[in-house]
Amino acid sequence: MKDEKNPNNFNPVNSVTIFGGGTAGWITALSLTVQCPQLAITLIQPKSHSVIGVGESTQPDLLQLLNKAGIPVGEFIRECDATAKCGIYYEDWYDIGTHFWHPFTDMANSDVNYTLAHHYQQLMLKYPEKYTHEDYYDAVHPSYDVCVTHKKVDGKNAAALHVDADKMHKFLRERLDNVTVYEPETIEVVSEDNEEIRFIDCDGVKVGGDLFIDCTGFNRILMQHLNNVDEDAKEYYHENVESAIFARIPYIDREKEILPYTKAHAQKHGWIWTIPLFSRIGSGYVYTKNSCTADEAEKQFREYWGVERMKDVPLKHLEFKSDSLKQPWKNNVVAIGLSSGFVEPLEATGINWIVTAANNLSAALARKYYDQHVIDFYNSGMSNYVSDVQDFIDVHYKLSNRKDSVLWNYHTVRGHNPRLYRKLEVYGTEMPAKWNRPRHMPWAFNEVSWIDILNGYKFKFQVQDINDETVGRMQKEFARIRSLKKGRADHCLTPYDFIKDIHDTNNNTPVEELPNK
């Protein structure tokens, strides 16, 4: 919109108002506090505030943001009921009886295009008897031996956390005393010609801002005022699942049951997540109503954990929208969190999406102004990120060999976004690499993550031309991994002891620097 006083639409930003006090609202406030200390930040959450209440498995970026903010991670772990997450363990996805491992690794962080993950795939093509899809994870990722085989935590692999999202909001609210919080009983949003938000009336107080951030979850309250929520405003996405049942499950034997990873266990009609917190397990069954009824899903979920164990455990049912806005930043509103989009809980992309968006917005606002060019740059970056999330999630269903229900029969053969076919063709030919995943765009997953997942589905890459120098470098790398693994698990703590130590000692050292036994 043209501004009379500002004909070039060169909009200074000295203040932002965040509407919504869920995970998106508080993480955005944290990111802006760290990266744009000059900004005046206001957050509005209604008195009768309610959040979605799931979102417990995170990726390394949350820990990195906490570290950047100088928040003692030990304190965060103690107050947010957190445990260490070293990756995601997949069971029964390719076929019943199979498993694979998606760890956090810094293998793709260097400038090197060809990693050990790439090399193992090449060795499989050359020597299929000796190198197999099943052995790939143990040969390439030292975390497989420690976390999957021995169920222990190596501080170096504990790059992320499982957290209680409600406790995290409270924790951040207490720490961010620079944020002005309104908790009104009545709220009215006032916009100008449905093009810009003018202010949000909170019990009669007009709360303005140079920029508004819509963190109102699936309700998208501010975006509705800009008419940015109808079907044309959204990217088309054909979701695989759309319903969930979830519960807080008590431990029976906590010391044994805390896992060092999130478990994603494929089922007939969807998949079940197991997220171990320190005091309880967060678990849910994500499924599609095209494949079973809510009652059937509930019965299956109770049986999964044991009917007796689940006797007094309340369950919550919810349906979610899998979509995304084409313009998450429109005029003077940026949507972050569920208001900007969501795919599904698999791979914990919800909070990662929030941190990525908040990071990109903070980088843009560090310049203290925005114009249409800044908006377009932000939107194209987020669009690239979201495409990667959607494609990565789709691969988990599309490449499965399962055929035991409507879900698997349909999503393994249906038409997918042409972008996904192109991606699989390019990755099959060249392998996922930095040259086909340019660094100036934000991607949701790195090239080694793509290989880890594709390997789980026995995907075949084409033979690459590898020079002797690279082969020599890879041999040394294999030897290094073997020596790293040697006896390593004996010196690592169980996931329970790892966290208990942080509780007992008031230890505030960053997780990756924590000593092992």
Ligand X SMILES: Cc1cc2nc3c(=O)[nH]c(=O)nc-3n(C[C@H](O)[C@H](O)[C@H](O)COP(=O)(O)OP(=O)(O)OC[C@H]3O[C@@H](n4cnc5c(N)ncnc54)[C@H](O)[C@@H]3O)c2cc1C
What burial class does residue 466 get, using C-beta atoms within 10 Å of its C-beta: 0-12 exposed, 13-18 middle, 19+ buried? middle
Kindly state whether residue 337 participates in binding ligand X, applying the rule CB under 6 A. Answer: yes
> Which of the ranges 126-134, 338-346, 387-395, 509-517 carries the binding residues for ligand X, by CB under 6 A?
338-346
When binding is defined by CB under 6 A, the residue of 345, 432, 456, 495 that contacts ligand X is: 345
120/329 with CB nearer ligand X: 329
Q: What percent of the residues of the chain are helix, what percent strand, and what percent coil, each to the nearest 5? A: 40, 20, 40
C-beta of 446: minimal distance to ligand X in Å?
17
Six token digits for residue 486: 């040697």
Letters for 168-207 (x = contact with ligand X by CB under 6 A, - = none) are -------------------x--------------------
Q: Binding to ligand X (CB under 6 A): which residues in 22-81?
A: 22-25, 45-46, 49-52, 54-58
- Asked if residue 260 binds ligand X (CB under 6 A), the reply is no
User: Minimum CB separation from ligand X for residue 380, in Å?
Assistant: 22
34 close to 69: Cβ distance less than 8 angstroms:
yes
Cβ proximity of 349 and 444 under 8 Å: yes
Q: Assess 221 for contact with ligand X (CB under 6 A).
A: yes
Nearer to ligand X, 24 or 407 (CB): 24
With contacts defined by CB under 6 A, name the span among 178-186, 197-205, 333-341, 385-393 that binds ligand X.
Answer: 333-341
Smallest separation (angstroms) from ligand X to the CB of 189 = 9
CA-CA-CA-CA torsion sign (410, 411, 416, 422): negative
In the complex, what is the shortest distance from the CB of residue 335 to ligand X, in angstroms, rounded to a whole number? 9
CB of 147 vs ligand X, minimal distance in Å: 18
Q: DSSP code of 493?
A: B
Q: Does 389 interact with ligand X (rule: CB under 6 A)?
A: no
Q: How far is the CB of 228 from ligand X (least distance, A)?
A: 16
Q: Per CB under 6 A, which of residues 278..317 are in contact with ligand X?
A: 284
Which residues, other chains included, contact 468 with Cβ-Cβ below 8 Å and sequence gap of 6+? none
Is 320 a binder of ligand X (CB under 6 A)?
Answer: yes
Which CB atom, from 92 or from 166, has the smaller least distance to ligand X?
166
Q: Which amino acid is at 381?
A: G
Query: What distances in angstroms separate CA 5 from CA 2, 9, 12, 204, one per listed residue?
Result: 9, 9, 12, 28
Q: Could you give the 3-state DSSP secondary structure of residue 9?
A: coil
Dihedral of the CA atoms 170, 515, 136, 284 (nearest 10)? -20
One-letter amino acid at 340 equals: S
Q: Residue 166 CB, nearest distance to ligand X (Å)?
A: 9
Q: How many residues bind ligand X (CB under 6 A)?
A: 36
CB of 458 to ligand X, least distance (A): 27
List of residues 6+ apart from 12 with CB closer than 8 A: 210, 368, 369
CB 335 within 8 A of CB 11: no
Question: Phi then psi for 9, rounded to 5 degrees?
Answer: 55, 40
Name which of 33, 12, 23 is nearest 336 in CA terms: 23
Query: Applying CB under 6 A, does 217 fall inside the site for ligand X?
Result: yes
Give the binding site for ligand X (CB under 6 A): 20-25, 45-46, 49-52, 54-58, 165, 187, 215-217, 219, 221, 244, 246, 284, 320, 337-339, 345, 348, 350-351, 354
